[in-house]
A and B are shown apart, each in its own frame.
Chain A
Amino acid sequence: MRLVLCVAKGNMLSIIKSFALNGIDGYEVKVEVDIHSGLPGFEITGLGDKAVKESKERVKSAVKNSGYLLAPKDVTVNLSPADIKKEGSHFDLPIAMGLLCATGQVLAKLAKEYAFAGELSLDGTLSRVKGILSMLTAARNAGIKKVICPKSNAPEACYIDGVEVYAFENLRDICDHISGEKTICPIEHKEISTISKNTSYDEDFKFVKGQTFAKRALEIAAAGGHNILLIGPPGGGKTMLAKCIPSILPEMTARECLETTKIHSISNKADEFKGIITNRPFRTPHHTSSRIALVGGGTAALPGEISLAHNGVLFLDEFLEYARGTLEILRQPLESKTVAVARAMRTITYPADFMLVASMNPCPCGHYGSKVNECKCNPGMIQKYMGRLSGPMLDRIDLHIEVDAVTYDELSDSNESENSASIKKRVNATRVVQQKRFEGEEYLCNASMSHSSLKKYCTLDEKSEELLRRVFEKLGLSARAYSRILKVARTIADLAGMENIEFSHVAEAISYRSLDRAYWK
């Protein structure tokens, strides 16, 4: 009797606002629920994936277990626009709300104010959904004022302003809130700058003995956002050095935090991800990783490692062990700072502005030039091995340095080296100088300087210019090294707090260009 009453009260068709994701961008989707007479059934149209199709079972159970009733009628759900593929379990909540509105158990005109996103458990509890930041940004752009999402999404959702976000634990509470029986306040908006940043790292440069040259090179790389290649024998501490890099990377800006979090949020990296990301990501894909794993793709066109490393570091250990094709696809993203993942139904562009840190052995046996072990390779083998590093790839790496194993004396030296925190201070200061310099440009650091900026900010006096010309001739440096050396010299000058590049800066920059030297050829 009650059931019939409920159905009669509803207007039979309801439209609920929700979102879908396209890459890291969200867009508004209208979830239309219609109940009509006929054989009992439940159909979802609008190109939903398997998770969307299965949603009907979760919704039915969740609605029933939350104490609401379902009519034994024919239910049609349409996700509009209906010609774009949609993925994800976050349509559970809007479908359930649509059902409740269509049956009149919740007043549709009250629910109209809100947009919904959330996955439902069979008992009506809400679970975390991915990509909430992208959805909230879409809501703000579409002029939607109020959004309801699962409570577990609140830690990230609170950083978007301009939208009132209401976070709930279960379906029942949502209905009570909408009907005004038990209202709650929207979650409090937080500024990213207020987050206390993690300042202790597992790896710190103070634990790295010796290697002052390599540390200096890494500091320069971090300060100017330069790509760097570490070459050295196994056990030389390349990986150790690389792992210390996060501890000296400059602070993220609020915009960078949001961008990076968005990518991590949509890429099923749920357990790695808590709230907003405030530390620059440090991604270390294994050298057997496929192309798709690196650049992104798959049926869902998810972001790859290079996008997950956006605003952070992509560390490729054993650089030459990656398949040649895999490495070469990094070339375009390294230049354009974005990657376009094209799939049958769509093309998605992900940001991929990362600092590349790579490490490799100098020869197949690994000991060429080592002071500890003797190398067993002949020059032909070494040449062939180095040949795997293509010219265009090398062209995109500003610094290449050699790292040799540390001797016992250096290891047992009791003097503690400079800690990462003080290096980080210098790096931060240098970044501020660069941000000021490149105000109004698309880029923020010396490494991505355009050609015109290079001419403007990296000028040498005549004497240095002449000296540099002679160095190039004598040492057989390649012409393509020229702009790289100037950019690195710019960063070195910035670190020294100098307005103009001096010859000593250029001389230092040249010493970080091992592979330009003839002895590798």
Chain B
Amino acid sequence: MDNFSIEEIYDRVGSDSKLHEFVGDTSYQKLIENKRTWEKKLDRVYESGINFITRESEKYPENLKQTEINPPILLYYKGDIDLLKKTIVAIVGTRFCSEYGKNVTKRFARELSNYSICVASGLAYGVDAFAHEAVMKAGGKTIAVLASGLNKPSPSGNVKLFHEIEKSGLALSEYFPDDEAQKYTFPERNRIVAGVSTATIVTEAPLKSGALITANIAAEIGREVFSVPGSILSGKSEGTNSLIKNGAAVLTDIMDIIHYLKTSDVKIKQTCVAISLDFLEEKVYTLLKEEPLSIEELVDKSKIELSELFVIMLSMEVKGVVTKGVGNKYTVI
């Protein structure tokens, strides 16, 4: 069965008993079902620029072949399929993320890109979207695994993001291109996110969250799960904190995960550039490292004149050292 193209497999559907044996009953039924739809819509699929790989293809990622996660027979894709050969780390989390979750997500996504590590996520709102965005902004590569067909990207608010990803990265889906997302496709999709990744990071998640499903799958198939601790007072960090309680690795610094990847024989190359700060900038930076501060609080603590501080903050923003978030708070990146 090795190295058959999908057409060749479909040719055998209904006539080849070996194939039936090979894929099992349910999958075979699905294949027969899909064959009918497939034949009808094949032209359209090609027109929309979608390709696919089968479990037997050379390009099918080894990571995904573990039987515990029921590897998809077919993976439709748009974009650069060779990304699956790179080191991939998943960043997942809640759709309803806080300012903290957003900053943390962006930070690790960007830092992973600086190490040329590919970031996978699920194109959902919140943490997923911020991870994809931050990677692309940093010039890295990102993989989006969709819970719907590639012609019906969901959620609707992230369609623009999806198109950017298919151009610069890779979009994957096991569903027929015209399929809409269903309630059950989201957890199903999570197994692929965990499957293609060497490690999974959960940046922010409440107790009831799809991100925890991804983390559990990752743990089950023997991949390392990294969890970013959050405030014990914030309900949005209850899930990540409980992951740590249950034995997940703590991620507070990018080196935590880099060390792990290095020990698992992954080649890491840092592409980061050093940034120089002047004396006053250094002073402000030290203050901001402790906690995010508003400009008023900075005036109080640094004893720098307000008018001067405006210039310092702007220059640090341009250097990409700090960022101004919601509520006038400056945060170190």
Instruction: List A residues at the B interface (Cβ < 8 Å).
Output: 210, 212-213, 216, 362, 368-371, 374-380, 383-384, 401-402, 404, 470-471, 474-475, 496, 503-505, 507-508, 510-511, 514, 517, 519-520
Contact = CB atoms under 8 A, between A and B. Distances in A.
A378 B326 contact: no
Smallest CB-CB A-B distances: 4 pairs: A369-B326, A369-B327, A507-B310, A508-B310
A371 B126 contact: no
Contacts of B296: 210, 212-213
A371 B308 contact: no
Given A374-B234, A375-B98, A471-B318, A511 B326 contact: no
A508 B307 contact: yes
A379 B234 CA distance: 18
Which residue, of A216, A470, A474, A508, has the highest number of chain B Cβ atoms within 10 A? A508
Contacts of B234: 374
Contacts of B157: 379-380, 383-384
B294 A511 contact: no
Interface string B220-238: 0000000000000011100
A418 to B, nearest CB: 14
A519 B326 contact: yes
Given A378-B95, A475-B317, A475-B318, A504 B310 contact: yes
B327 A402 contact: yes
Contacts, number: 88
Interface string B73-100: 0000000000000000000000111110
B247 interface: no
A379 B311 CA distance: 30
B318 A376 contact: no
A314 B99 CA distance: 33
Interface string B289-333: 000001110010000001110110110011010011111110000
Contacts of B299: 212
19 contacts: A369-B327, A376-B96, A378-B95, A378-B97, A380-B95, A380-B155, A380-B157, A402-B327, A402-B328, A404-B327, A475-B317, A475-B318, A505-B307, A508-B307, A510-B310, A511-B310, A514-B328, A519-B323, A519-B325
B129 interface: yes
Given A374-B234, A384-B157, 7 more contacts: A379-B95, A379-B97, A404-B327, A471-B317, A475-B317, A496-B307, A504-B311
A213 B294 contact: yes
A449 B247 CA distance: 63
B28 interface: no
A374 B311 CA distance: 31
Contacts of A471: 314, 317-318
A213 B320 contact: no
A378 B310 contact: no
Contacts of B285: none
B125 interface: yes
Contacts of B318: 470-471, 474-475
Contacts of A508: 306-307, 310
Contact of A371 (B95, B311, B323, B327): B327
A370 B294 CA distance: 12
B314 A511 contact: yes
Contacts of B126: 378-379
B326 A362 contact: yes
Contacts of A376: 96
A52 B89 CA distance: 82
Given A212-B296, A369-B99, A475-B317, A380 B325 contact: no
A377 B98 CA distance: 9
Given A377-B96, A380-B125, A380-B157, A504 B326 contact: no
Contacts of B311: 503-504, 507
Contacts of B155: 380
Contact of B307 (A213, A362, A504): A504
Contacts of B314: 471, 507, 510-511
A471 B318 CA distance: 6
B235 A402 contact: no
Nearest to B317: A475
Contact of B295 (A371, A496, A511): A511
Contact of B320 (A216, A474, A514, A520): A474
Contacts of B96: 376-378
Contacts of B328: 213, 401-402, 404, 514
Nearest to A473: B318
B236 A374 contact: yes
